[in-house]
């Protein structure tokens, strides 16, 4: 889909030159598309690009994959193979071509219903950054959504949540439906065009064109009062600006489907993202608030439950629903703060001066009277820098200044403005 327009800036300088680069890949190694905004591109280069794109299309279309799936499930267990190298379900006629590849045999219906277990996670940090929910977190999310009365879930980059809904729906009387939007085309092998759209959330591009858009639009139309919620868990390295722009377009799509007019209402949304992006997200979605719930992952070394007690995950839920409605599990240590009217981590103490539960990371934060706000327990107030910061910082030394607020004295990771109250 469309490239994004970037600008290179350096501190204190005039605006730099603008250029287009790939929206989805944040590493030039994954996609080297680059073009100055004012650059004239020759016919030959355009032709070469088109040629390159043609050669890099997926081998099968979504339609073909759907047909292949139908044939695949008709096969006896002994003939159901999955090529691990090509990440593809194989039909017997294709075995030959993959004879020197590793493959799995006897793919069961249960395995077909949980593709996120069958496919290996694309962990490449700069592109897919596929970090799958731990079962506990996925179950929590789904229960939360159903308890809130939602019957349709637009799953944007949440294949595991989608899969949990899909497999429940096929097993029992279950009225929740889900549509997965994701850039990982491997999922088209397991879901029909009504269940999965190949989508880029950094530029709101539907690879399936108008038909896919229409699928999404239809899904968002709240027939028979079936309420829709959107859940998204984008790669954490992603540009908040680009994501917010796409999500606003999805919200607009929802608003336009309703005849009675949702007027001033917003499509209910859960955006799962690390807590240190709070101020960035609120810049774009002032109606959102951050929940204390810590989202855990299966394949993320840092963000999962260790064997020895709990590792703290920095990943949170941002939502435009009323915070008091988001009930967090008491058995996992969350409690309701009657003043803040929301569930908070057990370690999150209500600060009388700030008049709010101020901790962002679950630890007990302390109030600094000079900064007039609560800060991390490990910070202290530095009179040189005139703010609270890490004990082992060098005062005003970082000459380039902080990437977030531009002030000297601290790096982006220690920026006080990231923890605005
Ligand atoms: N925790 C989620 C997965 C989140 S990982 C779950 O368990 O369901 C991020 C997801 O976003 C991956 O599925 C990845 O394929 C998808 N993704 C990455 N870049 C994307 C893009 N540009 N557009 C759409 N989806 C993208
Ligand atoms: Zn193969
Ligand atoms: Zn409180
Ligand atoms: Zn305080
Ligand atoms: Zn201070």
Lowest-pLDDT range of 61-75, 92-106, 267-281, 286-300? 286-300
Is residue 351 one of the residues assigned to a domain?
A: no
Q: From atom 19 of ligand 1, which residue's Cα is the shortest distance away?
A: 128
Domain endpoint, select from 346, 375, 409: 346
Do 298 and 313 belong together in one domain?
A: yes
| CA 5 / ligand 1 centre spacing (Å) | 22
Q: From atom 11 of ligand 1, which residue's Cα is the shortest distance away?
A: 157
| CA 369 / ligand 5 centre spacing (Å) | 7
Do 34 and 139 belong together in one domain?
A: no
CATH at 317: 3.40.50
Enumerate the β-bridge partners of residue 154. Answer: 179, 230
Strands, E, within 115-242: which ranges?
152-156, 177-182, 196-200, 205-206, 228-232
H helix runs in 232-382, sequence order: 240-257, 278-284
Do 69 and 48 belong together in one domain?
A: no
Do 171 and 246 belong together in one domain?
A: yes
Which pTM value belongs to this model? Answer: 0.90
Is residue 249 one of the residues assigned to a domain?
A: yes
Q: Answer whether 158 contacts ligand 1 (Cβ < 6 A).
A: yes
Is residue 124 one of the residues assigned to a domain?
A: no
Q: Answer whether 409 contacts ligand 1 (Cβ < 6 A).
A: no
Per-residue pLDDT tens digits for 127-172: 677 899 999 999 999 999 999 999 999 999 999 999 999 998 887 7
Q: Are strands 196-200 and 289-290 parallel, antiparallel or unpaired?
A: unpaired
Lowest-pLDDT range of 154-168, 249-263, 363-377? 249-263
Per-residue pLDDT tens digits for 404-417: 666 666 666 666 66
The two three-digit tokens of residue 147, written as one number: 């308890």
Residue 310 has pLDDT above 70, yes or no: no
Q: For 17-37, what is the mean pLDDT?
A: 89
Please identify every residue whose CB atom is under 5 Å from ligand 4, which is an ion. 351, 353-354, 367, 374
Domain coverage including residue 13: 4-56
Residue 120 has pLDDT above 70, yes or no: yes
| CA 374 / ligand 4 centre spacing (Å) | 4
């Amino acid at each position: 889909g469309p490239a994004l327009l970037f600008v290179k800036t350096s501190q204190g300088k005039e605006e730099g030159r603008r250029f287009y680069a790939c929206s989805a890949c944040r590493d030039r190694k994954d996609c080297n598309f680059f073009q100055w905004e004012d650059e004239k591109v020759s016919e030959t280069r355009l032709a070469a690009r088109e040629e390159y794109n043609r050669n890099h299309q997926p081998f099968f279309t979504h339609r073909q994959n759907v047909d292949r799936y139908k044939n695949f499930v008709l096969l006896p267990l002994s003939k159901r193979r999955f090529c691990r190298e090509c990440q593809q379900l194989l039909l017997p006629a294709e075995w030959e071509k993959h004879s020197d590849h590793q493959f799995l045999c006897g793919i069961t219906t249960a395995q077909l219903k949980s593709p996120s277990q069958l496919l290996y996670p694309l962990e490449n940090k700069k592109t897919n950054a596929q970090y799958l929910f731990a079962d506990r977190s996925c179950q929590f999310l789904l229960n939360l959504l159903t308890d809130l009365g939602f019957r349709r879930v637009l799953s944007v980059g949440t294949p595991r949540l989608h899969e949990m809904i899909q497999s429940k729906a096929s097993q029992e009387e279950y009225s929740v439906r889900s549509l997965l939007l994701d850039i990982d085309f491997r999922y088209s092998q397991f879901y029909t065009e009504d269940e999965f759209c190949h989508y880029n959330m950094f530029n709101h591009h539907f690879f399936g064109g108008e038909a896919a858009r229409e699928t999404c639009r239809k899904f968002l139309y709240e027939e028979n009062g079936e309420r829709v919620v959107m859940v998204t868990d984008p790669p954490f390295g992603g540009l908040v600006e680009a994501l917010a722009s796409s999500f606003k377009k999805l919200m607009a799509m929802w608003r336009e489907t309703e005849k009675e007019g949702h007027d001033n209402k917003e499509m209910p949304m859960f955006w799962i993202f690390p807590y240190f992006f709070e101020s960035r997200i609120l810049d774009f979605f002032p109606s959102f608030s951050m929940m204390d719930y810590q989202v855990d992952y299966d394949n993320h070394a840092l963000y999962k439950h260790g064997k020895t007690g709990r590792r703290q995950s920095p990943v949170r839920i941002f939502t435009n629903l009323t915070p008091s409605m988001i009930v967090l599990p008491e058995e996992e240590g969350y409690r309701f703060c009657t003043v803040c009217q929301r569930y908070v981590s057990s370690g999150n103490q209500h600060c009388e001066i700030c008049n709010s539960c101020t901790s962002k990371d679950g630890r007990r934060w302390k109030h600094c009277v000079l900064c007039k706000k609560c800060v991390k327990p490990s910070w202290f107030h530095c009179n040189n820098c005139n703010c609270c910061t890490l004990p082992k910082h060098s005062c005003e030394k970082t000459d380039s200044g902080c990437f977030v607020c531009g002030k000297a004295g601290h790096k982006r990771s220690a920026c006080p403005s990231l923890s605005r109250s």
